[in-house]
Structure 1
Amino acid sequence: MKLRDKVVVITGSGGGIGAACARRFADEGAKVVVTDVDSDGVTRVASELATVGLAVDITEEGSVHAVAELARRTYGQIDIWFSNAGYAGPPRAGDLSDDQLWQLNWQLHVMSHVYAAREVLPAMLDRGDGYLLQTASVVALALHPDKPAYSVTKHAALSFSEWLAATYRRRGIKVSCFCPGPMLTPMLMADGVPPDHPIVKTAATPEQVADRLVDAIDVERFLILDSPLGQDCLTAKATDYEQWVQDMAQQTTA
């Protein structure tokens, strides 16, 4: 799908990858609607792009509806909904006890995607055209040993994308799941990764990621990877699942 003249909603676009994609998509001629829980970020990015934005919490279904209504009132029917917002949280080795953290991860990484699909799919199906793009993580193909809630919900996000693609592709709906590796964003720094760590040296910038996403959307690729890490994880699981689990066990600090 070409981005020119398409109406695109990007969640989590007040900073990081979302903001970089908002700028890059706008450069391609898309009509971008900015939304994020960070009101200052929404104001800044929307002003820069001369577009509209709304600061909301998309873990609430009413907020997703409000963003969609803003997009439709301003530009018309939504062509692409990019569910990009996410939260990693600090490493908490083996922590299964924090119900609030589990609920936040579930609402943000799974239910916000469900709410978006409920909101925009009916009109897309009527037109026989539309695009649902979701950000999961390379963790969805592997795991994060110190973040069980993050790992489990990112797997669920990928599974939901798979279900959407299998269910609606024949009816004209394009679906992509973006599973990025480490990126130079505040989320990575919040993990306490030192600036001289090898991960930082090889991590992509948000701008590089945005370029890759434009290319992937153009060819309507389902699984979007930005490094060999994701493919390596898939290959390792398919080749020797037991060994993959053993390798993951060696990395945990629990």
Structure 2
Amino acid sequence: MRLKDKTAIITGGGSGFGAGIAAKFIAEGARVMIADINTEAAETVAAELGALAQEVDVSDAASVEAMARTAIDGLGHVDILVNNAGMTHLPTPMEEVDEDAFDRVFAVNCKSVYLTARALVPHMKSRHSGAILNVASTAGVSPRPRLNWYNASKGWMITATRTMAVELAPEGIRVNAVNPVAGETPLLKSFLGEDTPEMRAKFLSTIPIGRFSTPEDIANAACYLCSDEASMVTGVAMEIDGGRCI
């Protein structure tokens, strides 16, 4: 029960890594809001786990503010924020990615971190306590060709994590990131371009441990980083990648 009496918001919690993190947090004693742009997915996972569900577009300020208010009202306060919602563009030569796709990737992967901070950091400062976890990617550390703007957005998240950690440490707020390698999530097909045995084998050959990451892998790391066990850990971008970035 490492998160007993803690409360958490998990964006993108309706599937993939977010749903795995939600399940782990609840098993460890936390009360959780699952926030997702897919309302049905959020409600389904929330019903299964005994959590709150909230529709949110993390790229929209009003929607993020509404999420924060609802969480504070429903949970009493917010101890943990997990910025997990994310998206990518399809593998494409960098100059051929259209502007709408570029804008959407940076709105969901980057602007969302700014918006959730604006909505929830004042609340955490008022309590002199909090943990923020940004779900970045190995793509921000060891980028692959043809995912250029996605790679760049995750590199941005890693830098944002570090600068947030430095600024917020005196306020009692810790900020960390996890860098998953590609996993069995709805984004996998987008990363691969086409989900075929040949493409999977090619990608797996770059991971020394020899498998994709799972929601449980990411959830276990997230639980540690957001728990009081990690009270001296801030500004870390932990690779959960089976050796991919070595």
TM range (shorter): 0.7 to 0.9
Letter in 1 for 2:104: L
CA separation in 2, counterparts of 1:4 and 1:145? 43
Separation in structure 2 between the aligned mates of residue 99 and residue 146 of structure 1, nearest angstrom:
15
SS at match of 2:51: coil
List aligned pairs for 1:167-246, cutoff 5 A: 167-190=167-190, 191=192, 192-195=194-197, 197-198=200-201, 199-200=203-204, 202-218=211-227, 219-220=229-230, 221=233, 222-229=236-243, 231-232=245-246
Match of 1:69 in 2: 69
Match of 2:152 in 1: 152
- Tell me the distance in 2 between the aligned counterparts of 1:32 and 1:125: 20
Quick check: 2:128–2:173 contact (8 Å CA) kept in 1? yes
Alpha-carbon distance in structure 2 between the residues aligned to 1:210 and 1:24: 6
Q: Would you say the 8 A contact 2:5–2:31 is kept in 1?
A: yes
Normalised TM-score (structure 1): 0.85
Q: Once structures 1 and 2 are overlaid, which stretch shifts more, 195-204 or 137-146?
A: 195-204
Given that 1:141 and 1:230 are in contact with CA atoms closer than 8 Å, whether structure 2 keeps it comes out as no
**Aligned partner letter, 2:222:** L
Alignment of 1:29-48 (within 5 A): 29-48=29-48
Match of residue 107 from structure 2 = 107
Q: Report the TM-score, using the length of structure 2 for normalisation.
A: 0.88
- Is contact 2:142-2:245 (8 Å) kept? no
* Partner amino acid, structure 2, of 1:214: C
The structure that has the greater radius of gyration is: 1
The corresponding residue for 1:15 is 15
Cα distance in 2 for partners of 1:110, 1:230 equals 23
Shift of residue 231 of structure 1?
4.8
Identity of aligned residues (%): 27
Please say if residues 80 and 131 of structure 1, whose CA atoms lie closer than 8 Å, have aligned partners that are also in contact: yes
CA deviation profile, 1:28-61 (whole Å, cap 9, x unmatched) = 1111001111122111011112222112211101
Conserved? CA contact 2:37–2:55, under 8 Å: yes
1:204 Cα shift?
Answer: 1.9
Residue-pair matches, total: 232
Higher helix share: 1
1:122-178 Cα deviation digits (max 9, x unpaired): 121122111111011111112131122211111111111111011111221111111
Q: 3-state DSSP class of the match of 2:176?
A: strand
Tell me which residue corresponds to 2:84: 84
